[in-house]
Amino acid sequence: MERLDRFMARANAAYYAGPDPLAGFTTAPEISQVFGEVLGAWAAVAWQAMGSPTDAVLVEAGPGRGTLMADALRVLRRAAPSLAGNVHLVETSPSLRARQALAVAHATWHDRLETVPTGPLVLLANEFLDALPIRQCVRRGDGWVERHVASGAFVEVPCPAPPTVDAPDDGIVEWSEAARDLVHRVAGRVVAQGGVALFIDYGPERSAPGDSLQALRGGEAVDPLADPGSADLTAHVDIEALAGVARLAGATVQGPVPQGAFLARLGLFERSRALASNVPPPRAGALMEAAQRLAEPHLMGRLFKVTAVCHPALPSLSGFAA
Ligand code: SAH
């Protein structure tokens, strides 16, 4: 028997160590090159707002195939060359590290954020927090039980009340100690050394009870408990709770704002149109369709939210103000 978060950590470590863990997935940077380009432009402006520190480090957590960073660097090499020359990728999967090395020529890899050199931080993380392990408790009358996993099924073990929201009878509360810990460390670093961390994740704007654990194998939803290591396990990110963790550490939080509004303010459509005007019609149409997929509220535009954890001296950053 294993607590759910330990099961999820082990299953995902095995899954991401596999030969092509992202086959069948289409994350935002894989939909359009403009996603990474506008985030690169955002990073340059944020870096300027920090006073253009030459010792700043550019970090991506969970870079997947390296597409976002490769696209962002095309912009950053011109707009913020010193930042573009100091790239650090936090990635535990050996197969994805190899993949990232093909996309990003000059970078240093890390298992954890702690080994990234000191200096003001510009951190990007798209769909990273949702891969971190969660715990789940279920309310049973006046008490609570915590979900463990044994032989592909849940086993309930009595436990104290969970630290976040309440739930009705038989309702499920989930939280991620790993995500809370990461945001706590990022916020502490940003407060002490300066900088900003941008998180893009799916999840509701406010903490709410409910079971959001899901497993995808080759793009298909499968049983999260069956055959650990064969599917990608994710859960909704509790943005409100994580923003609270960041504020407690002394950071300020900008957002969350819906991904669609954020990208539109950063010029997603203008940049896509400019690219489209220089290519044959089928490719031009695909570029505009990709922009819509990223930004339309009924597609990815509303479900995904953008949140920045900032040094308190930073002004309102682009994309966050209407
Ligand atoms: N950001 C990418 C990929 C998201 S998938 C994109 O948008 O396409 C999640 C990524 O986080 C993968 O690269 C995975 O290997 C990495 N990852 C998962 N758990 C991790 C952990 N605990 N530490 C570091 N990286 C992790």
Q: Is 127 in the pocket of ligand 1 (CB under 6 A)?
A: yes
Is the CB of 95 within 6 Å of ligand 1?
no
Q: 37 CB less than 6 Å from ligand 1?
A: no
pLDDT at 321: 85
Which ligand 1 atom sits nearest the alpha carbon of residue 65? 8
User: Following CA atoms 127, 81, 119, 240 in sequence, which dihedral angle do they give, to the nearest 10 degrees?
Assistant: -30
Q: Within its chain, how far is the Cα of 161 from the centroid?
A: 28
| Cα→Cα distances 306→110, 175, 176, 204, Å | 24, 19, 18, 12
Architecture in CATH of 19-131+178-209+236-310: 3-Layer(aba) Sandwich (3.40)
Tokens matching residue 100: 């990232």
> 7: closest CA among 276, 237, 228, 217?
228
How far is residue 61's CA from residue 89's CA, in Å, rounded to a whole number?
A: 6
Which residue's alpha carbon is nearest to atom 21 within ligand 1? 92
Q: Which pLDDT value is given to residue 218?
A: 86
Cα 187–Cα 189–Cα 190 angle in degrees, nearest 5: 65
Strands 195-202 and 304-310: antiparallel
Q: Which ligand 1 atom lies nearest to the CA of residue 13?
A: 19
Atom nearest to 178 CA in ligand 1: 22
Q: Whose CA is nearest to atom 17 of ligand 1?
A: 62
Sign of CA dihedral 81, 83, 86, 87: negative
Q: Is the CB of 93 under 6 A from ligand 1?
A: yes
- What is the residue-level pLDDT of the chain in tens, covering all 322 positions? 999 999 999 999 999 998 888 887 889 999 999 999 999 999 999 999 999 999 999 999 999 999 999 999 999 999 999 999 999 999 999 999 999 999 999 999 999 999 999 999 999 999 999 999 999 999 999 999 999 999 999 999 999 999 888 899 999 999 999 999 999 999 999 999 999 999 999 998 888 899 999 999 988 999 999 999 999 999 999 999 999 999 999 999 999 999 999 999 999 999 999 999 999 999 999 999 999 999 999 999 999 999 999 999 999 999 998 7
CA dist 65 and 24 (Å) reads: 13
β-strand 121-126 against 195-202: which pairing, if any? parallel
What is the 309 CA–ligand 1 centroid distance (Å)?
19
28 CA distance to ligand 1 middle (Å): 13
Interior CA angle at 246 toward 295 and 25, to 5°?
35
Ligand 1 binding pocket mutation candidate from 15, 20, 33, 92 (most atoms within 8 A of CB)? 92
